[in-house]
Amino acid sequence: MDTRRKLERNDGGWLNLVSVADYADASVPTVRRWLRRGLLPASKLASGTWRIRRDDLEAFLQGKAVAPSASQDELS
């Protein structure tokens, strides 16, 4: 099963860094850089794990502006 199909089945539409990197055909350090620069909205759990909404990733990859606060409080 390819990565895109796996993402379609993802619970609640939230992805981790590895899933985002696979989907975007990028490295995990590149995804972290996108997060640090505010290019891709994400939420950081108390455990330190990052979560990115699939919709935000799709918009980012399509070159659409994504509001930094779009997913910040949804995991709280």
Per DSSP, 57 falls in state: H
pLDDT mean by block of 10 residues, the chain; 76 residues: 53 88 95 95 94 94 68 51
Instruction: Please give the Cα distance from 73 to 29 (Å, whole number).
Output: 24
Residue 52, helix vs strand vs coil: strand
What domains can you pick out in the chain, each with its CATH number?
A: 3-61 (1.10.1660.10)
**Integer angstrom CA distances of residue 44 from 6, 10, 32:** 22, 18, 12
**Integer angstrom CA distances of residue 8 from 23, 24, 39, 59, 61:** 11, 14, 23, 15, 16
Q: What is the pLDDT of residue 8?
A: 53
Is the pTM here over 0.75, yes or no?
no
Q: What is the pLDDT of residue 51?
A: 96
Q: What is the pLDDT of residue 50?
A: 94
Q: What is the pLDDT of residue 67?
A: 60
Q: What is the pLDDT of residue 1?
A: 46
